[in-house]
Amino acid sequence: MVPLPRALSPVVHDVRHQRGAPITTLRIGLGEDTHRLAPGGPLRLGGIDIPHDQHLLGHSDADVLLHAVTDALLGAACLPDIGQLFPNTDPANKDRDSAEMLRSACDRVESAGWKIVNLDCVVLAQEPRLGPYKESLRTRLAEILSLGVGQVNVKGKTGEGVGPIGEKQIIQARCVVLLEKRA
């Protein structure tokens, strides 16, 4: 394969090697989380309260979206995951605000020399419909992470009435994050 000239290459790699593996200036992380639904609202999602007749169950505030973003960030930087940093066996994490955990994870990522380029999230929930809340979710995530709203995307998908998502038993969230090494 003939390499593209640097001017045409979509990604410029740092060509240093460590144990034979190339070290790049970019990293991708994937986060995923699932929580069961229980009667009584509101629904805490993405750091905001959404009017709904159910809420998510968990040791902390069970914010499935913030948990997915937290794990995506930590994974991209090769840091311990959310369960290692904030175990559900620690009483200090009981009912803890997931925005605090996300901010702490972001601080660790930044201390390791990385900055967030962007994140793309999807929330899988039969109800509530997330369309009316997407901009609020994007704004709150950007606020927690000290990003521009244009660096954050949130999509909502239903379970089409199938499986535990479609049967309104759980809500699931996924996030992909791109980090760039600070110069």
The model's pLDDT over 126-159, given as tens digits with 9 standing for 90+, comes to 999 999 999 999 999 999 999 999 999 999 999 9
pLDDT for position 15:
44
Query: CA 44 to CA 73: how far, in whole Å?
Result: 20
Which residue type does 54 have?
Answer: Q
How would residue 183 be classed by pLDDT, with cut points 50, 70 and 90? confident
Average pLDDT, the chain: 91
pTM assigned to the model: 0.88
What is the CATH classification number for the domain harbouring 134?
Answer: 3.30.1330.50
Establish if 15 belongs to a structural domain: no
Establish if 1 belongs to a structural domain: no
Residue % of the chain over a pLDDT of 70? 87
Establish if 112 belongs to a structural domain: yes
Residue 12 · residue 6 · CB < 8 Å: yes
Establish if 170 belongs to a structural domain: yes
Establish if 95 belongs to a structural domain: yes
Could you report the per-residue pLDDT of 52-62, keeping only the tens digit for each? 999 999 999 99
Establish if 158 belongs to a structural domain: yes
- Give how many domains the chain has, as a whole number: 1
Establish if 12 belongs to a structural domain: no
- Helices 134-145, 98-111: axis angle to 10 degrees equals 50
Locate the DSSP E strands across the chain: 17-18, 21-22, 26-39, 43-45, 48-50, 54-56, 114-124, 152-157, 170-181
Query: CA 180 to CA 117: how far, in whole Å?
Result: 6
Query: CA 118 to CA 130: how far, in whole Å?
Result: 21
pLDDT for position 24:
79
Could you report the per-residue pLDDT of 9-65, keeping only the tens digit for each? 444 444 455 565 556 799 999 999 999 999 999 999 999 999 999 999 999 999 999
Establish if 77 belongs to a structural domain: yes
Domain containing 75: what range?
Answer: 28-181
